Structure 1
Amino acid sequence: MSSLSTHVLDAVRGAPAREVAVTLYRGAEQLDSGTTDADGRIGALGGDLAAGTYRLVFDTGGYFAGQQVDTFYPEVSVAFAVTEERHYHVPLLLSPFAFSTYRGS
């Protein structure tokens, strides 16, 4: 089985994005949810993950509303494939009008 973590960084402030709600789905089924800590991290989501396609949904609208900043993206959805047994880390680099992600380590 595989494990999953995430990390959200606010590129405008140059700091971790704390208190971002994140939900994990497999298909339409919600598997788990959490909120980023003071370092912008969620250390574990979903427990042991079997092979398949998953989706992380980040509540970026809620985060930016808390910062009193307008955003073009009220949420960011990142689909990814679990293909082998390993730890998967999905970071999100965030600003009000752009975002990027990659498979971390």
Structure 2
Amino acid sequence: MNTRRGLSLSTHVLDTSLGTAAANLKVTVHRFDDESQKWQAVRAKQTDPDGRCNVFEQSEFPSATYKLTFHVGAYYVGKNLKTLYPAIEILVDCTDDQHYHLPLLLSPYGYTTYRGS
């Protein structure tokens, strides 16, 4: 019997310039294919009203390197604000069967990320 728990990936986006969660922000996920040496689209989701997004749940996807693209340009257009970043890409090496949580603290002219819990 396979007792592999699998990995899961989530994010939480906070707009520090407005002091709110970044709701309805599109997040696109790609997985790097070692064989073809290319990025393969996995899925696109949007953050919920609290700025959270479960990208995928346990055992849905294999261990790999993933790229999360946060479409912040469109988000800020919706807020009638300019931004330096049309998109922010975060690459993460998800090689262990565990939960990966990647918060993004966002403003029109800066951002930071870290591994959360």
Shorter-chain TM band: over 0.9
User: Which residue identity is paired with 2:113?
Assistant: T
User: Residue 24 of structure 1 corresponds to which residue in structure 2?
Assistant: 29
> 1:32–1:46: 8 Å Cα contact kept in structure 2?
no
> 2:10–2:56: 8 Å Cα contact kept in structure 1?
no
Larger Rg: 2
The answer as to 2:38 corresponding to 1:45 is no
Separation in 2, partners of 1:81, 1:41: 20
Q: TM-score, normalised by structure 2?
A: 0.85
Query: May I ask how many residue pairs the two structures share in their alignment?
Result: 104
**Structure 1 unaligned regions, length at least 5:** none
Separation in 2, partners of 1:102, 1:49: 22
Separation in 2, partners of 1:49, 1:98: 31
What's the Cα RMSD here? Answer: 1.0
Describe the SS at the equivalent of 2:76. helix
**Structure 2 unaligned regions, length at least 5:** 1-5, 33-38
User: Percent identity at matched positions?
Assistant: 41
